Chain A
Amino acid sequence: MELLARYGDDGRLLAGGMSLLPLLKLRIMSPACLIDISRLPELTGVNQRQGYLSVGAMTRHVDIEESRLLMNSFPWLGEAISGIGDVQVRNMGTIGGSLAHADPAGDWPAISLALDASIACRSPRGERSFRADEFFQGAYTTLLQPDELMTEVIIPFPSVRSGGAHLKLERRAGDFGIAIASVQVELTADDRVQKARIGIGAVAHTAIRPKSAEDILAGEIPQGEVLRAAAAEVRRSVGDFDLMSDIKASAEYRLAVVQVLFERALDLAVARARQKGN
């Protein structure tokens, strides 16, 4: 923390290094000082707290995949995480590193939105936390200040009848996504949507929470026309942002794909929530 304050913008926290090291090698970044935070046990691990799960910022993807606490509440996280990079990347990469790096095509920003997560950080000036939907400011840009260290990701427990899904279209296994749709729904006893959270990644220059699509679902029985309307709204509202368009996929293609991807993810999430007893 002292080092970070001393070096400010010239210092960089090194978590798993899965994004930072390639950037250093390409000379895109050349910080004067790297601060390895991998040996801070208080930043690692998944813990149950009153009403929420706390995931240490330095918890590696593989440890999240293998965390019974997380998988019990969010079984769909397993398939979401198994699509991040490859085994070697998941062995090193961390949740906090991914969120702080805020790659628009990363998986965790979209997942954190669907999980309704909050992100806690600390600096010599004190502690504060952000909701995931305010944290991402743009490509590789978050609200973290140069002297701040992310400490934990806070994930509220879902209700019993909840389900989620995370679908990603990629050119080949382990590649960055062309479109990512992450969604979690909670249903009432009579199958109405009590809460829906959506995270869209890889389409715009930042992960997006299309709140207007969540509003369409709220209180409704999620099937048929309702699903289609929510998916159309996702496309419409995401279309208002500055979209990514590159050699992998044009903006139009990404928009068209994300609508389909989201509808499938929502359908899957609802089916999974319905399977849970009342």
Chain B
Amino acid sequence: MKPGSSQLVAFRVNGQEIGRSVEARRLLVDFLREDLGLTGTHIGCDTSNCGACTVMVDGRTVKSCTMLTVQADGREILTIEGLAQNETLHPIQKAFYEHHGLQCGYCTPGMILSALQLLTKNPAPNEQEIRRAIVGNLCRCTGYQSIVESISAAAQKLAV
């Protein structure tokens, strides 16, 4: 792929088939936000440190500021907008709401997707495991305590 050239990509975003021509150098996060209008995925640092741009590609969290759109060709993408079903919050979202797992909310979409990644692999994590799972997500408000509590509560919610 050459930087300015365009390529056809086809993938699913939150269950919906998307087919577009994109510039080879377009970052996935820019494509999601600007071309698809899915602004729930945030750009924090744009240097793959903060994790605000975390989305899932084929069931694995990635930082969408450090992935080219063309790399996602043929894959299944899940953004924060794809979590709630018919206006009903996902249990992790509900837990963040109930346990005040956010202050300014900027890191929240990424935090929630990292929580989803953790809970899919480890349905009953301890505090240490939760903290390790969000190493790649920074909360500038430093509201980690409530975030950890929210993820722990979400695990219990999902277990029943």
Contact = CB atoms under 8 A, between A and B. Distances in A.
A90 to B, nearest CB: 9
A210 B51 CA distance: 37
A14 B136 contact: no
B24 A34 contact: yes
A40 interface: no
Interface centre among B114, B118, B136, B137 (most CB of A within 10 A): B136
A17 B51 contact: no
B48 A174 contact: no
Contacts of A174: 135-136
Interface of A: 14, 17-18, 21-22, 24-25, 30, 32-36, 38, 62, 82, 85-89, 91-92, 173-174
B76 to A, nearest CB: 14
Contacts, number: 70
Nearest to A36: B71
Interface of B: 1-3, 24-25, 46-48, 51, 54, 60-63, 66-68, 70-71, 114, 117-118, 132-133, 135-137
A88 B54 contact: yes
Given A21-B48, A25-B47, A174-B135, A36 B1 contact: yes
A36 B70 contact: yes
B68 A89 contact: no
A82 B132 CA distance: 9
B119 to A, nearest CB: 12
Contacts of B68: 14, 17, 21, 34
7 contacts: A14-B71, A21-B48, A22-B48, A32-B2, A88-B48, A88-B63, A92-B66
Contacts of A173: 132, 135
A21 B2 CA distance: 14
Given A18-B48, A21-B48, A25-B46, A91 B66 contact: no
Give the 6 A-B CB pairs with smallest separation, nearest first.
A86-B136, A91-B60, A86-B135, A88-B136, A173-B135, A21-B66
A87 B71 CA distance: 19
Contacts of B3: 30, 32, 34
A85 B71 contact: no
A173 B144 CA distance: 15
A23 to B, nearest CB: 11
A174 B47 CA distance: 14
A17 B72 CA distance: 12
Given A33-B2, A34-B1, A87 B117 contact: yes
Given A82-B132, A87-B135, A62 B60 contact: yes
Given A87-B61, A174-B135, A33 B1 contact: yes
